[in-house]
């Protein structure tokens, strides 16, 4: 099993659009084979900081996720929302930073 922790800082004026598009990508992703959980949380101290917390059955399932049309769409539209991002893949023995 692997976890993904993706911390996103978004432009304040894009918050509503970001949340709408995030709901769409989450709805598709939770149906993927190998997706054990996929959730988005927001910071209570930083209103424009969000964290995706994902749990995947394997690194291979995560790799397949990267190739899905809905994630490709998400990457395209979310680029306009992002001020900054950090993505970490947590393995049983190590943390892989992307």
CATH at 28: 3.30.70.100
Instruction: For residue range 54-72, list pLDDT tens digits in order.
Output: 999 999 999 999 999 999 9
pLDDT band with cut points at 50, 70 and 90 for residue 98: confident
- Full-model pTM: 0.87
DSSP 48-70: TEEEEEEEES-HHHHHHHHTSHH
Torsion of CA 58, 88, 9, 81, to 10 degrees: -50
State how far the Cα of 91 lies from the Cα of 96, in Å rounded to an integer.
7
Residue-range definition of the domain harbouring residue 91 = 2-97
Confidence (pLDDT) at 97? 77
Average pLDDT over residues 46-52: 96
Domain count, the chain: 1
């Amino acid at each position: 099993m692997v976890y993904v922790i993706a911390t996103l800082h978004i432009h304040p004026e894009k918050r509503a659009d970001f949340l709408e598009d995030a709901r769409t990508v989450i709805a598709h992703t939770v149906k993927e084979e190998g997706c054990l959980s996929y959730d988005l949380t927001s910071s209570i101290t930083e209103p424009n900081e969000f964290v995706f917390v994902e749990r995947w059955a394997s690194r291979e399932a995560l790799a397949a996720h990267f190739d899905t049309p809905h994630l490709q769409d998400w990457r395209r539209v979310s680029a306009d929302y992002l001020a900054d991002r950090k993505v970490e893949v947590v393995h049983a023995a190590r943390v892989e930073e992307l």
